A and B are shown apart, each in its own frame.
Chain A
Amino acid sequence: MLEIKNLHATVGGKEILKGINLTVNAGEVHAIMGPNGSGKSTLSYVISGKDGYEVTEGQILYNGIDLTEMEPEIRAAEGVFLAFQYPVEIPGVPNVTFLKEAVNAVRRHRGEEELDAMQFVKMIKAKTEELGIAKDMLKRAVNVGFSGGEKKRNEILQMAVLNPKLAVLDETDSGLDIDALKIVSDGVNQLRSDERAILVITHYQRLLDHIVPDFVHVLAHGKIQRSGGKELALELEEKGYAQYGIAAE
């Protein structure tokens, strides 16, 4: 589903990704771990197409199609989803309006009927209840004044309503309380299927206790330094990143 080949990318003229190779097949869950500043979020932005993140070499193939020249909204409509490490506040835009526009934009792109207000409200209500999200979070402006954990839940709500094929979760676990971690993990696990792939960026084993990955990769110095099974995360938890020549970058 996702095939990253020799990916180099610069931000503000500085090379951050220095030749990433990563293949994620449908049905798999991959975890990426790595020290602060190693380029994990950069990778997630490059996959989703943020301006200012320039691919200088290599390819990102998504179901065989190169993503790098594609507008972010087309990537999203084609099923790429990023749960942001730092979700953005948008004053003045009600969360529910935002969600409805997003869902309908994606449906239009996919040639599906748009949802009318009634259908949308019904759908969104069910999802918020499932994810234990307070109703007033729908009325409030997108992420404005949301607590850290509420923002992360809101990301998962967006993921749930957009129904992506490839989900990249950038530190979605940070800031979550124990119950929320369980709810969010359940939300992610529900998405697990043969048609979907999930890329989880995290610093902590405790998320991987809930969302058990098929593969774990260590990203450092802008490259995948090592890949392994779920045991690799446990090893990192114990030994840290020192063996990769990094205390902190």
Chain B
Amino acid sequence: MVMQINATQPFVDQFDDVQSRLPGAKLPWLEAFRKAGIEKFSKIGVPTIKTEAWKYTRLPNIDCKEFRSANLEDGQVAVNAVAKFLPDALNQVRLVYVNGIIRPDLSNLINLPDGVSFEPLTQALKNDPEFIESQLSTEELKYDQGFSALNAAMMESGTVFRVAKGVQVKEPIEIVYMNGGTDEPIIRHPHNVFVLEAGSQATLVKRHAGIATGAYFNNAVTEIVVGDGAILKHYTVQTDCVEAIHLSTVNVRVGKDATYETFNVAIGGRLSRTETRVRLEGRGAHCNLSGAYMMRGREHCDNTTIVDHLVPDTTAREVFKGVLDDEARGVFQGKLIVHKDAQRTNGHQLSRALLLSDRAEMDAKPELEIYADDVKCSHGATTGQIDENALFYLRSRGVPEALARNLLIQSFIAEALEEISDENVREAIASLVVHWLPAQCFVADEWVQA
């Protein structure tokens, strides 16, 4: 108990400290929202080993005082190259943030399609505060996790993306968050709001990357609404540096006949945790929550998903595959909740991990909670090593061992990449996987085509 107060209090002090300087400080509803957030956070505190949802992920002994709030100068850190998600796309619509501060010089909004608004949260709070208010409910603060409640209190950056009714955006829209390179480690609390109105379609790609070595703490919340008949493809690539802490909570509401497809790639980070909570609220709602992770050293990656099937005829699919080397740890927690009326729910969940070292570790906890009787749900979790017979087969054909191992790792991950329906995105991610691999390896375009 004492420990918990010690870990929590400094964050609360930090809030008191910066409260008046946070964006939208003059908006009464936002002030109330922040207040509800900090109260909730004080009550829940930072997760401990007793927190069920954090059972396998322990926060390294963080001293909050290690992380100061960011200031405007932190946004001016020199960036050699923007860590683009889609390197080859011409005139890509892209917002680039450095330590949470928007960098117009690195961003491009020239080709922003009609019917799409895409701007930093700080700006949206000035331009369209009513819209943001409508998306954040003060009545009942739903965040039941310490860090998402803290984000509610502290939100100071993030992106608002909104696609008007019926608008179909073909080209992907990109967000790049780059962190680090500051004199002292900083903490950020980005809050994203993505709303696809009825019948709209869009692809949003998001990249998180480290600027230099050194610690930083990213505590993000993303609120997503996919309206009736809308389709959102939301892809995230996280290549944070080895000392970074990256916590992300994604709350999604999916409407009637709507689809939410997400793929989360995690490469690196001392601790990265993504908790995705999807509510399938309309008949015919579908979600695909999948991902791949590749960890080495003492990195730790946690993918936690909770899907609520609330009405009949909804479907969910999850495929997570990861590679763990050295002393890296992976966690997958997947919960499917089929509510009483949600007949004909179809849920499929798969977690597979490949351990490259004896000291690497994987914890997988699939969970089904079913209250309806006509449902089809399946889940599976496996942890294995490189197939020695396959390795020998490759070597017996002249393929050197290191290359053969890489090919087997690539092919293992490739199965998860098949969940990505956007071909360009799949290729971009495949080449990131190739870059993660040790030593020489295969070129990406040869193995994703199959």
Contacts and interface: CB of A to CB of B under 8 A. Distances in A.
A101 B392 contact: no
A97 B396 contact: no
A105 B400 contact: yes
A9 interface: no
A34 interface: no
Candidate in B394, B396, B407, B450 with the most chain A CB atoms within 10 angstroms: B396
Contacts of B414: 92
B447 A105 contact: no
Given A97-B447, A101-B403, A71 B395 contact: yes
Contacts of A94: 446-447, 449-450
A44 B407 CA distance: 25
A71 B390 CA distance: 15
Interface stretch (A76-84, A127-135, A196-204, A216-224): A76-84
Contacts of A88: 387, 389-390, 392-393
B16 interface: no
Contacts of B415: 91-92
B322 to A, nearest CB: 15
Contact of B395 (A76, A92, A98): A76
B400 to A, nearest CB: 5
Given A97-B442, A101-B403, A101-B407, A90 B394 contact: yes
Contacts, number: 94
A109 interface: yes
B72 to A, nearest CB: 47
Interface string A85-109: 0011111111001101110011001
A148 B321 CA distance: 30
A107 to B, nearest CB: 9
A109 B392 contact: no
B450 A97 contact: yes
A73 B400 contact: yes
Interface stretch (A21-29, A46-54, A175-183): A46-54
A49 B398 CA distance: 12
B393 A73 contact: no
B26 to A, nearest CB: 55
B398 A105 contact: yes
B408 interface: yes
A72 interface: yes
A91 B395 CA distance: 16
B51 interface: no
Contacts of B389: 88
Q: Which bucket holds chain A's interface residue count? A: 35 or more
Contacts of B450: 92-94, 97, 139-141
A48 B396 contact: yes
Given A90-B408, A97-B442, A101-B407, A76 B396 contact: yes
Contacts of A169: none
B397 interface: yes
Contact of B397 (A49, A71, A98, A140): A98
Given A51-B388, A97-B450, A102 B411 contact: no
A138 to B, nearest CB: 10
A73 B399 contact: yes
A172 interface: no
Contacts of B396: 48-50, 72-73, 75-76, 81-82, 84
Given A73-B398, A92-B414, A141-B450, A87 B403 contact: no
Nearest to B448: A94
Interface string B431-450: 00000000000100011011
A162 interface: yes
A158 interface: yes
A91 B384 CA distance: 14
Contacts of A92: 410-412, 414-415, 447, 450
B430 to A, nearest CB: 12
A189 B449 CA distance: 35
A76 B399 CA distance: 9
A105 B403 contact: yes
B373 interface: no
A176 B83 CA distance: 53
A87 B159 CA distance: 52
B332 to A, nearest CB: 20
B447 A72 contact: no
A43 to B, nearest CB: 14
A51 B401 CA distance: 12
Contacts of A77: 398
Nearest to B391: A51
A46 B388 CA distance: 16
A90 B408 CA distance: 8
B447 A106 contact: no
A50 B392 contact: yes
A45 to B, nearest CB: 8
Nearest to A105: B398
Contacts of B393: 84, 87-88, 90, 142
Contacts of B410: 92-93
Candidate in A48, A73, A76, A87 with the most chain B CB atoms within 10 angstroms: A73
4 shortest interchain CB distances as A-B pairs: A92-B411, A94-B450, A76-B398, A102-B397
24 contacts: A48-B396, A49-B396, A51-B392, A71-B395, A72-B396, A73-B396, A73-B400, A73-B401, A76-B396, A76-B397, A90-B411, A91-B415, A92-B411, A93-B407, A94-B449, A94-B450, A97-B446, A97-B450, A100-B446, A101-B399, A101-B442, A102-B398, A106-B398, A158-B397
Interface of B: 387-390, 392-401, 403-404, 407-408, 410-412, 414-415, 442, 446-447, 449-450
Given A105-B403, A162-B397, 5 more contacts: A72-B396, A88-B390, A90-B387, A92-B412, A141-B450
